[in-house]
Every structure is written in C-alpha cells, then in structure tokens.
Amino acid sequence: MRLQSFIGGTPLLELTTLDIPRHVRIFAKLEFLNPGGSIKDRVVSYILDDAERRGILRSGSTIVENTSGNTGAAIAMLAAMRGYKAILTMPDKVSKEKQNALTAMGADVVVCLTSAPPDSPGHYVATARRVHAETPNSFMLNQYDNPLNAEAHFRSTGPEIWAALGKQISAFVASGSTGGTISGIGRYLRAKNPAIDIVLLDPLGSIYHKYFHQGVVDPGQIAPYHVEGVGEDHLAKCMDFSVLSDVLQFSDADAFATCHHLARSEGLLCGGSSGANVWGAIQLARRMKEPGSIVTVLPDNGVKYISKIYNDEWLVDHEMRPFRDPGTLVPKRDASFVPDKHLMPNL
C-alpha cells in the first residue's frame, strides 16, 4: 500500500473535560493523524491527483505553493513520494519546526516577512506566484482560490463526519484561512441538514469577521497574531461566506490556553488552530438551549509548536503568561459528571 492510502478516515473523539452544558456534546476529528500530520494531506493529495489526471503535473515538474506550514508538509511528503521537486514560500512567523520539516523532506523553503502587505511583491503569496512564473514546468496548487480545496472536504471529510454522527449534529465550527475546510464540510453538512449551524472562527487581526458582519475589508484592522494557519489579510476565493451562520473572533490567549487544557486534561498535544476550534465549540455549546452535538477538527499536532505555544519563555516574550493551570481558563466539568464512551469510528 502507498502512504497516500492512509490519508483520511481519521477518528472522531468526544471531548469530555470541557465546562459545557450537560445537554451538549463536543466531538473533534483528529486530523493530525493523517500521515503528513495535518488536515492538509486531504487537499494536497486531491489537487495533485487531479493535476496528474489532466496532464498538468508530470515527470520532472516542480510544485510551488505558499503555505503556513501544513500544506507545505503535505506537498513535501507527496512530492518526495512521487518524484517531484517542491518550492514553498511561507511567512517568517511559521515555527522553525515546520520550516525544518520541509527541508528535511527535500523542499526548498523561501521565508518572507509576515509584515509584508498583501499587495506587495514581498508577500508570501505574491512570492509564490512569482516563483511559479519563473520556474519552467512548475505547478501551483493556488490553495486560496482553487475550488478543489473545498471539494476535497466535500467529498471526504464531510461525508466521514456525517457517517459518524448524522442527525445528531447541531453545528460545525472551525477556524479558517483558505476557507477550504469550513466551506467544503459546511456545504456537505448543510446539504444533509440545512438546519446545521456552520460557524467560522477568526483571529483578532484578521479580516474575515468584519467582512462577514459588515461586508467590508478594512486594512486598518489587519494586525499581527500568533496562531498559525488561520485568518487572513486578504479574501480567499475558497471561503464561501454563503454557507456560514456566524463568525466569532478569538485571541491568541484563547487558543493557546485551550491548547494547554487539551494537553493536560485530554492528552491531546495540538496546534494553535485546534485550540481555537475547541474554544469556539465551547462558546457555541454555552449558547445552545436544546440537546445536540457540535463537531470540530483538530488540524495538526503540537509537536510543531513546542518552541512557541508550549514554551513559557516564548509566551512571556509575546505578552502572554504561562498557562500553568489551564483548568482555571477552560474549566473541567464537576466531579459527578460521567462521560459517555469516546466515539472513534473506523471509517
């Protein structure tokens, strides 16, 4: 069997240590168990398969893409398997662990300033487009604007979630950057049950929250934040706002405190976007008046962020206190609560 055959079919785990109403359950799809370590394996394999079928990607090709790390890891893995070269551009806020993993698999990495304006030639997206234009026999996934990004989740992740929980699902909540995950899963779940709420989580400093609620992109609200792989400083065509019920904002501290809670209380060492997603699920659960289940995804693991999220010195340097007692930030249920069995389907 080829490594690619193990992409997808990830388990769905009930989180049982969260301070939420008793009539609400939260389930998390463990996407960090994909062979490349993240949810992006699904998208990259889907797009590369399509490009090969159409003859766009062929022997000797170079794959070029902008990435916050996880798409790059999936590209580096699959390029190594299939005999392609890979050139990846990324903002300098991406952890060293991610950068080193890409070079270890043979990819060339071009690091760009996170502070570069989205319309400047130094922005990591613009840099990838320039490298693509200058590199003969190259292929660019164009993950922000490629409809196959969301289609990958419509055809795989969404059906897996529905097969596991079906009519129990009240809401799906997730952060987003390209928008592929929430748009693809959201469309599928809404097609099955239009009453399901689809909620996007957006970091403070990103443009999506204001765009959804006011219909404007405000450059003045763009500000630095430290959670990787979420939010944006420009609109991605893959982000389907029509499928969204609401957009909630979160802070770095919200996401990272929840990461520490998941590590110490659930045994899940996750990345910042996972913390944001679970934080958002908690907020939604506390609003729900009727029994139901909320689903989210844990996009990647925390090993890539040991030098950041799980490093006390880094947290202090970035004006966040160490999360020594995450239970005070994301409280546990009372001691009398007896959780149901974890749901871990073999899909």
Q: What average pLDDT does this structure show over 310-333?
A: 72
The model's pTM: 0.90
pLDDT digits (tens, 9 = 90+) for 185-216: 999 999 999 999 999 999 999 999 999 999 99
Q: Which H helix or E strand runs over 83? A: none
Could you give the percent of the chain with pLDDT greater than 70? 93
CA nearest neighbour of 178 among 225, 220, 144: 144
Q: What average pLDDT does this structure show over 46-62?
A: 96
Q: What is the CA 296 to chain-centroid distance, rounded?
A: 10
C-alpha distances (whole Å) from 65 to each of 9, 54, 254 are: 26, 19, 30
Mind telling me the catalytic residues? 40
Q: What is the CA 234 to chain-centroid distance, rounded?
A: 17
Domains, in order of start, for the chain: 3-34+147-309 (3.40.50.1100), 59-136 (3.40.50.1100)
- Spatial contact of 148 and 50, defined as CB atoms under 8 Å apart: yes
pLDDT digits (tens, 9 = 90+) for 262-319: 999 999 999 999 999 999 999 999 999 999 999 999 999 999 999 999 999 999 999 8
Average model confidence (pLDDT) for the chain? Answer: 92
CA nearest neighbour of 173 among 270, 298, 70: 298
Looking at residue 325, its pLDDT comes to 53
What the block records as the tokens of 294 is 């909320």
